[in-house]
């Protein structure tokens, strides 16, 4: 099933045009991370997907979450389907624009970041820069990930989290840094005086990461 999305096209598109896919969090929509567009590189294609499921608050979700249960925090089959669906849509959009020799970047917030972890570590050959905001690596979505250091060495990860995040504890986020360290991946892990969101300093650092 095709996902709905917003797109910002640069003036010129070639087979080498970089593309960034934005994956929003639970209860949000495709407008959320698309607000990053004005400060992203002007020569990039930027695509922000909308999750396919309705969330309780009127927004959208990639998969159901039980906030009352750490053990059954997510619906695993739904989450696995979401990862597959996002990957299929990434490939469809890239093919639509004739991208063949380009770099493909990912940015995921919260629930979207869980999907991004899974995509980057299962299909590292497809991606380049990976931004993981206010999220954590969900073990049940990381089975059979690539552990070959040579296949991961081209990836660059930016992981950020708020010290006062009440939705996803900072300790959960630190598991991401531990995982990437164990994989010998190139990453930066940054904490900010913030809740479940991206404050101004976090935003500036994220844009620096993308522009390097």
Compute the chain's Rg from CA coordinates: 16
Q: What is the pLDDT of residues 106-134, one digit of tens each?
A: 999 999 999 999 999 999 999 999 999 99
Residue 70: is its pLDDT beyond 80? no
Q: What is the pLDDT of residue 109?
A: 98
- Residue 112, SS3 per DSSP: helix
Could you tell me where the DSSP H helices lie in 18-110? Answer: 31-34, 76-96
CA–CA gap between residue 201 and residue 168 (Å, rounded): 20
Q: What is the pLDDT of residue 65?
A: 84
Distances (CA, A) of 62 to 51, 95, 115, 135, 206: 5, 23, 9, 14, 23
Q: Would you state the structure tokens that stand for residue 199, as one six-digit string?
A: 């404050």
| Domains along the chain with CATH numbers | 5-211 (3.40.50.1820)
CA–CA gap between residue 90 and residue 49 (Å, rounded): 9
pTM for the full predicted model: 0.96
CA–CA gap between residue 109 and residue 168 (Å, rounded): 11
* Average pLDDT score over residue span 143-161: 97
User: Confidence class of residue 66 from pLDDT cuts 50, 70 and 90?
Assistant: confident
């Amino acid at each position: 099933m095709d996902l709905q999305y917003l797109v910002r096209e640069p003036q010129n598109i070639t087979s080498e045009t970089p593309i960034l896919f934005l994956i929003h969090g639970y209860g949000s929509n495709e407008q959320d991370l698309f607000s990053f567009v004005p400060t992203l590189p002007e020569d990039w294609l930027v695509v922000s997907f909308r999750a396919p499921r309705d969330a309780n608050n009127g927004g959208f979700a990639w998969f159901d979450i039980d906030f009352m249960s750490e053990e059954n925090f997510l619906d695993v089959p739904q989450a696995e389907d979401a990862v597959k669906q996002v990957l299929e849509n990434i490939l469809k959009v890239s093919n639509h624009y004739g991208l063949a020799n380009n770099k493909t970047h990912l940015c995921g917030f919260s629930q979207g970041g869980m999907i991004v972890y899974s995509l980057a570590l299962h299909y590292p050959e497809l991606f380049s820069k990976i931004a993981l905001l206010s999220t954590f690596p969900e073990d049940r979505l990381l089975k059979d990930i690539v552990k070959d250091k040579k296949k991961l060495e081209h990836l660059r990860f930016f992981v950020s989290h708020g010290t006062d995040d009440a939705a996803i504890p900072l300790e959960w986020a630190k598991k991401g840094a531990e995982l990437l360290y164990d994989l010998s991946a190139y990453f930066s892990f940054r904490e900010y005086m913030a809740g479940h969101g991206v404050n101004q300093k976090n935003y500036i650092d994220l844009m620096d990461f993308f522009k390097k």
